[in-house]
Structure 1
Amino acid sequence: MSIPVKLAVIYYSSTGTATAIAQEIAEVAQKAGAEVRLLKVAELAPQAAIDSNPAWAANATATGDIPVASPDDVEWADAVIFGSPTRFGNIASQLKQFIDTLGGLWAQGKLADKVYSGFTATATTHGGQESTLLALYNSVHHFGGILVSPGYTDAVKFDDGNPYGTSHVDAQGSNPVNDTTRAAARVQAERVIKITAGLKAGLPTI
């Protein structure tokens, strides 16, 4: 009997778009047989800033029961899917701060040989989606991780058009996560689980 893949979905979301994508990925991975931890990273913004934006405040309340990620969760995982909105073509400072806490694991070689992937969202079309994922993946290379992007391995990826990972344009909150993005998230989650399972089993399925 095969051992289930252990997947950590670790994300940051202010107004909820990345939350919805993270939840979709986690659900699909569970259906694929993975043991999943859905985790958010710690918020760094002051409460006044959160309260000033109704969508931000609502997402903070709605996700209050989602655990905050720790380095132990990354050590536990066989695969990690990181998620972040775009901030000037880069990942949000909240996710970057979490990644920066992984130095101890990196020094011990405990970040290497895991599978990693990522997703993002922007307020405008394009808006730095690809550069954000590529910036995120710089860290994966430093980890010695195994990067598993969705590519165009499924026809639905030609609908969302991003081979680097799942991405969504939320258009300032007027475009909730839709079927196209959910389909892309499904392809990404299933691919990460498939490749990770193959690695754990000695690559017979690859």
Structure 2
Amino acid sequence: MSVKVAIIYYSSTGTNYQLSRWAEEALQAEGHEVRVVRAQELAPAAAIAKNPAWEQHLEETKDVPVASPDDLDWADALIFSTPSRFGNVPGQIKQFLDTTGGLWFTGKLVNKVVSGMSSAHNPHGGQEATIKALYTTMAHWGAIIVPPGYTSEAAETSGGNPYGSSVTIDNEDKMIEDVEQIVKDQARRTAEVADWIKKGKQ
């Protein structure tokens, strides 16, 4: 059975955008319906202009739809991809999460299948803490959290984060670990569990 998956990301220079596109690729290959949407940029233009890579990526992705609560309502499963900011989600993702109160109040987020991915600029830069912080919100929703654990052989070659795929970025914004396979496996696992839930509810 095909499921509907919303991939919500925030990316300043492109890392989490790429993770999201890999997830999309894996899901579409299996016939699932996918929406890739971005959290609204909140940083002032003056700050963005000081970082050419940030400015360039924002321009390159300007046509990616901005995430809205409607995307969450539509989806059977949700995948979030977010950089770490001091071991937590960045303000752009938090702002989006703070718009979901209406869906939460009416129970529309209950039993949504959710999973998270992250990135940081060093191997212990808060990737795990960021994903777990994201999952705190998901628990309040009553969502069904689906971490990758060690269900994929790629876990051991991509950093081994059981909470969600994560990657380290070097000073040139290049990914250090090879995470494409684990991202795709996590996306497929998320959709598989969503499929089980959907069939069970029917």
TM-score in same-fold range (> 0.5): yes
CA distance in 2, matches of 1:80, 1:152: 20
Q: Secondary structure at the match of 2:80?
A: strand
CA distance in 2, matches of 1:79, 1:177: 28
Question: What is the number of equivalent residue pairs in this alignment?
Answer: 200
Residue 116 of structure 1 corresponds to 114
Structure 1 spans left out of the alignment, 5+ residues: none
Structure 2 spans left out of the alignment, 5+ residues: none
Choose from 21, 34, 37 the match for 1:36.
34
Cα displacement (A) at 1:172: 2.5
Identity of aligned residues (%): 47
Residue 164 of structure 2 corresponds to 165
CA distance in 1, matches of 2:95, 2:129: 18
Residue 93 of structure 1 corresponds to 91
Residue 76 of structure 1 corresponds to 74
* Per-residue Cα deviation, 1:84-126 (whole angstroms, up to 9, x for no partner): 1000000011000000000010000011111000000001112
Normalised by the size of structure 2, how large is the TM-score? 0.96
CA distance in 2, matches of 1:9, 1:60: 18
Query: Does structure 2 retain, via aligned residues, the 8 Å contact 1:32–1:193?
Result: no
* Per-residue Cα deviation, 1:48-76 (whole angstroms, up to 9, x for no partner): 11111011011101111110010000000
Query: Does structure 2 retain, via aligned residues, the 8 Å contact 1:137–1:147?
Result: yes
CA RMSD of aligned residues (A): 1.2
Q: Point out 4+ residue stretches in structure 1 off by more than 4 angstroms.
A: none
Normalised by the size of structure 1, how large is the TM-score? 0.94
Query: Does structure 2 retain, via aligned residues, the 8 Å contact 1:21–1:177?
Result: no
Residue 198 of structure 1 corresponds to 196
Choose from 39, 46, 49 the match for 2:47.
49
Cα displacement (A) at 1:174: 4.4
